[in-house]
Amino acid sequence: MLRWEWSQRVIVNERVVYVEWHEEPSFKWCQHHHLLLFNIPNENIHSLTQLLKLAHQVENTSNQLQTSYMLCFAIKTQRNRASAVGLIVAWQMLFHQVSALDAYKPFTHLNIRPLFDPNSTYSLSVLDRLNSLEKAITLGFVSSNMDISDFQQFSWPCKKIAVFTAPESLTPLVPYFQKNKTSVVILLERPLYVLDYSLGFDIIDMTCDGETWDSLFTRFLEAIDSSVGTVAVQYTTKFNRCQLCLGGYLVRVLNFTAREAIAWLRLLQPGSLSAHNPHILENWGKSLSPNSENLNEPHLKLNIGSVTLSTSFFGKENSKKSYRDPYERLKQTTSLDITPNLNSCDDLDLVYHLVPRVNSTQQRERSRLRV
């Protein structure tokens, strides 16, 4: 192949080559040079189902190559670079057990723009998305022989949780829930149908208005941890409450980085985690991740004389790495008799603290309620 015929060429392995043409060659020319063209779709590859289908096509085509032929990934414009490189690397990860970093290494010299998401100001590079896919493959969430039909109505961010869009009724979904041993259905957005609590699984309504993100995530984590079997979560793309809670779960429980969690959720549900939500999750990741350097250190320290006041995210104090719920129900005390209204969302955020009074005797303490 002559140098002037292409602008970029990357030899992926002995049977695969990536080429950016100045001008697409004729079929006869490709035959003469023992090349079998694999044309990349013009649109970006955003969804996991689309990526898996194309990766299967690549594997089947490469297995049918004649001796001495090479499979040529051909693109004509640089805007398709991200999709082409992402597909090649994903194919090697899924079918040939190559790591994301090793598979991506031959393309590091290319200027690959982040995949554009019109619903978000938070951009992710191709390598971010590939790292998230590698994490999912390692944990067994994705494989080369998985049933893609399961992702038509339901998405499985992890083996514990299934996510589905708001249906007209939960009744048609009962056989699927029974097949996957679903014991709990969580509603994070208000349903448009009448709830039926006699379907054989628990329904937890988490649609309180005015609740803080921290409180919502704490209740979400409690519901997942206390459940037996799998959990189904209903979502809509309008509010993104589900995607943010799922991202926090991936970071806190499954040791995803914030960027990996964001990329994995976007691959499952294109357009998710829009606007400011990725930034919230990234801030959570600094404190939620078990490997975070800040896990044992308070996020805020205030020194007043000899008194030090400190607070840490989600109550990670006393250098404990285990999860602790800071939103405990108010305990019965002799000095403070307050019973929260559990039906009110605002009352769920009440926490009882003993706070030392500054410039007073050491033994005196006062009670404070934080809302």
DSSP-based three-state secondary structure for 223:
helix
Residues in the chain: 371
First-residue to last-residue Cα distance in the chain: 70
**Measured between alpha carbons, how far is 282 from 292 in angstroms, rounded to an integer?**
12
> What pLDDT is stored for residue 60 in this prediction?
92
pLDDT at 57: 92
The string of pLDDT tens digits covering residues 106-158 is: 998 888 876 655 455 667 788 888 999 999 999 999 988 888 776 777 888 99
What's the rounded Cα separation, in Å, for the pair 269 and 153?
11
- Please, what is the average pLDDT of the chain? 73
pLDDT of residue 343: 36
Nearest CA among 325, 322, 317, 312 for reference residue 219:
325
pLDDT of the residue at 287: 67
pLDDT of residue 347: 35
What homologous superfamily does CATH list for 3-112? Protein tyrosine phosphatase superfamily (3.90.190.10)
Tell me if 3-112 shares its fold with 148-288.
Answer: yes
Among 290, 343, 342, residue whose Cα is nearest residue 320: 290
Q: Which CATH superfamily is domain 148-288 in?
A: Protein tyrosine phosphatase superfamily (3.90.190.10)
Cα–Cα dist 266/256, whole Å: 14
Q: Which helix (H) or strand (E) holds 27?
A: helix 27-32
Strands 154-155 and 70-75: unpaired
How many whole angstroms separate alpha carbon 244 and alpha carbon 262? Answer: 9
Whether 177 has a pLDDT exceeding 80, the answer reads yes
Gap between the Cα atoms of 350 and 339, Å rounded? 10
Give just the sign of the alpha carbon dihedral 116, 119, 124, 129.
Answer: negative
- Per-residue pLDDT tens for 313-357? 344 333 333 333 333 332 333 333 333 333 333 333 333 333 333
Per-residue pLDDT of 41-75, as tens digits, reads 766 677 888 889 999 999 999 998 888 899 988 88
Cβ atoms within 10 A of the Cβ of 107, count? 20
Domain ranges of the chain: 3-112, 148-288, 328-371
> What is the Cβ-side half-sphere exposure of residue 124, based on CA atoms within 13 angstroms?
31
pLDDT tens figures, 146-157 = 887 767 778 889
The whole-number pLDDT of residue 345 equals: 36
Whether 145 and 136 have beta carbons less than 8 Å apart is answered as no
Per-residue burial over 4-25, b = 16 or more CB atoms within 10 Å of its CB, e = otherwise = eebeeebebeeebbbbbbeeeb
Tokens describing residue 152: 């038509």
Residue with tokens 């999912």: 136
Q: What pLDDT sits at residue 78? A: 72
Residue 263 has pLDDT above 80, yes or no: yes
